[in-house]
Amino acid sequence: MRNSEVGSAIMTTPNEAMKQQRLMWGAALIVGFILIYYGGAPIIPVIAGCVLVPAITALRSWFRFRK
């Protein structure tokens, strides 16, 4: 791998990790809106899932590259 690929993969803080996953946050919001509005899903579990999935993914990648 080149240095540019390795350097872009290193994340320094959880906030930086979440910033790099903006597309996932947007997709989670759109899916949550569709589930609530069109699917009639309960609001609280959908919101919890839409927040937890990107957050857990960002934290996992942060811990993986922290070593």
pLDDT of residue 42: 92
pLDDT at 5: 46
The 3-state secondary structure of 1-37, one letter per residue: CCHHHHHHHCCCCHHHHHHCCHHHHHHHHHHHHHHHH
**pLDDT at residue number 9:** 53
Classify residue 16: in a domain, yes or no: yes
> Is residue 32 included in any domain, yes or no?
yes
Model pTM?
A: 0.60
- If residue 59 lies in a helix (H) or strand (E), which one and from where to where? helix 43-66
Tally of domains within the chain: 1
CA–CA dist 48, 63 (Å, integer): 22
**So what's the pLDDT on residue 1?**
44
For the segment 5-42, what is each residue's pLDDT rounded down to a tens digit?
A: 445 555 567 677 777 778 888 888 898 889 889 888 89
What range defines the domain where residue 47 resides? Answer: 12-66
pLDDT over 80 (residue 66): no
